[in-house]
Amino acid sequence: MDVAKGIEETTLMTLSEQIKEEIPQADVAVLSGPSHAEEVGRKLPTTCVIGATTRKTAEYLQSVFMSKVFRVYTSPDILGIELGGSLKNVIALAAGIADGLGYGDNTKAALITRGIAEIARLGVKMGGKLETFTGLTGIGDLIVTCASVHSRNRRAGYLMGQGKTMQEAMDEVQMVVEGVYSAKAARKLAEKYEVSMPIVEQINEVLFENKSAAQAVDELMLRESKSEHSVLPWPDETV
């Protein structure tokens, strides 16, 4: 059972893929979702998803973890679950930066919704299922990581928005800030699969290319105008 979240920067493998490579015979499952340990430890109602390659494994683990304070769903989409759990940390850095710059709820809502659009575009291109990214391990995990006081990634982003360097922010948080490492992997995956991920791109430039956070926001806002959903037809243009 893999409960960690991340993508290996050089191989671009998920953690379950790395486990499978090291232990080919392993029946790997993953547990993910909006579940800060601080609240789970206090027995506050929490809901997660177990991903596995077989229904039998998923339902067995579901029965082990289910309780009146910890509800578990099952899914066969291990890849989608892991991508959602890893990439949300990058968007949470952006949300924290926006908070640190003094922006409001409108800005954060935009980052969350456009962020999940980027995650879903990449995830579906890689073989994940769209339903996963609209569920607990996608938008659910993204919301809690972008908004919670427990979020290390949001906290690090906030400090950078306040003017601290990436290293200063990481030192102050004093715990692993996964989004910093996942940002590089996300950028490489976007290039590999030819997927547009402008928030991910701007975060990388802030983290590793000395771009100011305010400039990154300006460039996101001034991107080429477009439709929110390019696949939706206009009634006056349908034949």
Distance between CA atoms of 129 and 213, rounded to whole angstroms?
32
Distance between CA atoms of 74 and 61, rounded to whole angstroms?
9
Please state, as a whole number, how many other Cβ atoms lie within 10 Å of the Cβ of residue 63: 9
Q: How far is residue 222 CA from its own chain's centroid?
A: 24
Q: For 174, left (φ over 0), alpha (ψ -120 to 50), or beta? A: left
Instruction: Calculate Rg over the CA atoms of the chain.
Output: 18
Exactly one of 20, 43, 68, 88 is catalytic; name it: 88
The closest of 57, 56, 95, 58 to 179, measured between CA atoms, is: 95
Distance between CA atoms of 219 and 154, rounded to whole angstroms?
21
5 is catalytic: no
Distance between CA atoms of 4 and 178, rounded to whole angstroms?
10
Cross-strand bridge partners of residue 52: 29
Q: Which residue reads 């990449």 in tokens?
A: 122
The upper half-sphere exposure of residue 53, i.e. CA atoms within 13 Å in the direction of its Cβ, equals 8
Catalytic residues: 88
